[in-house]
């Protein structure tokens, strides 16, 4: 049942309003401002408050101000009931947040009509609030579902490249976490702060597993070759950056509107083999012309390649890998990114150990590559 709180220091007025409202509503009556505040914050919470203005100790204006200041009572509509007849008093009450004014002596028909009107308005607001809350919950659920599907799709595409690439699945996990560590460390840096927003960091980390997706377009006899590539083979291998970025171009062309995730992914896919001194590929970009996502991915990818066992090489020790990254400062890598790496070396090593490739993983990878090479050679 709808609950109305009546507040008045006069027992006669409390009785009058209670008798008027009780046939239609549940009525709670109190005779002071302090009791009104306690009653408003307790259960059942009133749906409407009829509040006398002129009361001792705490007047109605103070009660209303404190009601509005409390999140638990801020949305309860309040109608002032007063003998005051000055428009300035009415205006002051409305400015404080009262929804209406009823003057004494009480006129039953007017009082009931105004009470009903404001209860109907409150019911409509509550319905809209509930509806909006339900819609927000549904939007959040769908966004979470879409994000989950997107992440699964990213993983699927990343693993598609892995199927043909002589690397294990943990490579994606490690490089993704390395990129996140670099983002966290570089965020306060003035040269990176504007770009490394929460949204961009999320895009960057989620798109990192796609960095070598273009390798699906490299012929088996080159991609799976267990030894050193010839100059011609290396030229073909380097086209994987073009292949990957062109694939994203096609997806963007098919999309109805720009997709921030794809734009970030393309920067990583195309440019993570660029070098700070301009000697990288595919576009020979140098310095800050290299997009930030690609600069971070470059270090993460090289570090992981150094410490990983491949069918054609043994892993470097962690100490040697760290020294090689440091040696590439200002030539291969952005100096600021190397500085961030040095601060987070312990965490890089922890990630490397946590997601280390097992001997079984490597043996399975070698066997798989041998089978693929045999099939490619027609054996």
Same structural domain, 40 and 178: no
Q: What is the pLDDT of residue 57?
A: 85
Same structural domain, 322 and 216: yes
Same structural domain, 128 and 169: no
Same structural domain, 81 and 180: no
Same structural domain, 82 and 215: no
| pLDDT tens readout for residues 149-160 | 666 666 666 666
Domain boundary among 87, 117, 134: 134
Q: What is the pLDDT of residue 346?
A: 95
Same structural domain, 104 and 244: no
Is the omega angle on the peptide bond into residue 273 within 30 degrees of 0, that is, cis?
Answer: no
Same structural domain, 71 and 169: no
> The domain spanning residue 371 has which CATH number?
1.10.3210.10
Counting residues of the chain whose pLDDT is more than 70, the rounded percentage is: 86
Q: Is residue 293 in some structural domain? A: yes
Same structural domain, 26 and 126: yes
Spans of the chain, pLDDT less than 70: 84-89, 148-169, 311-312, 358-379
Same structural domain, 35 and 115: yes
Domain boundary among 95, 114, 134: 134
Domain extent, residue 128, equals: 3-134
**Number of independent structural domains in the chain:** 2
Same structural domain, 226 and 333: yes
Angle between helices 108-164 and 198-207 (to 10 degrees): 30
Same structural domain, 184 and 110: no
Q: Is residue 357 in some structural domain? A: yes
Q: Is residue 155 in some structural domain? A: no
Q: Is residue 183 in some structural domain? A: yes
Domain boundary among 115, 134, 153: 134
> The domain spanning residue 129 has which CATH number?
3.40.50.2300
Q: Is residue 157 in some structural domain? A: no
Same structural domain, 122 and 205: no
Q: Is residue 141 in some structural domain? A: no
Q: Is residue 153 in some structural domain? A: no
Q: What is the pLDDT of residue 209?
A: 86
Q: Is residue 142 in some structural domain? A: no
Q: What is the pLDDT of residue 91?
A: 75
- Cut 0.75: pTM above it: no
């Amino acid at each position: 049942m709808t609950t109305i709180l009546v507040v008045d220091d006069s027992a006669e007025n409390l009785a009058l309003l209670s008798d008027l409202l009780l046939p239609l509503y549940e009525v709670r009556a109190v005779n002071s401002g302090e009791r009104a505040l306690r009653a408003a914050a307790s259960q059942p919470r009133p749906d409407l408050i009829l509040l006398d203005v002129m009361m001792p100790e705490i007047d109605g204006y103070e009660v209303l101000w404190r009601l509005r200041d409390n999140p638990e009572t801020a949305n309860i509509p309040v109608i002032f009931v007063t003998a005051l007849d000055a428009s300035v008093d009415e205006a002051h009450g409305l400015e404080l947040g009262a929804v209406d004014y009823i003057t004494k002596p009480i006129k039953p028909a007017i009082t009931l009509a105004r009470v009903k009107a404001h209860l109907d308005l409150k019911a409509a607001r509550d319905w809209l609030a509930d509806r909006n809350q339900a819609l927000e919950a549904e939007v959040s659920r769908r966004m979470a579902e879409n994000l989950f599907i997107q992440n699964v799709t990213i993983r699927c595409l990343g693993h598609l490249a892995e199927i043909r690439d002589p690397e294990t699945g943990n490579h994606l996990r490690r490089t993704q976490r390395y990129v996140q560590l670099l983002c966290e460390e570089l965020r306060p840096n003035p040269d990176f702060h504007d770009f490394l927003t929460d949204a961009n960091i999320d895009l960057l980390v989620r798109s990192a597993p796609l960095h070598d997706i273009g390798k699906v377009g490299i012929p088996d006899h080159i991609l799976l070759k267990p030894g050193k590539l010839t100059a011609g083979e290396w030229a073909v291998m380097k086209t994987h950056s073009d292949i990957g970025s062109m694939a994203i171009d096609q997806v963007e062309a098919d999309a109805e509107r720009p997709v921030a995730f794809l734009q970030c992914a393309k920067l990583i896919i195309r440019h993570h083999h660029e070098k700070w001194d301009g000697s990288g590929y595919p576009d020979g970009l140098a310095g800050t012309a290299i997009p930030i996502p690609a600069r971070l991915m470059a270090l993460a990818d090289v570090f992981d390649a150094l410490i990983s066992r491949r069918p054609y090489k043994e892993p470097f020790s962690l100490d040697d890998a760290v020294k090689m990254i440091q040696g590439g400062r200002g030539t291969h890598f952005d100096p600021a990114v190397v500085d961030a790496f040095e601060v987070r070396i312990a965490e890089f090593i922890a990630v490397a150990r946590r997601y280390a490739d097992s001997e079984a993983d490597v043996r399975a990878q070698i066997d798989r590559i041998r089978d693929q090479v045999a099939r490619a050679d027609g054996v």
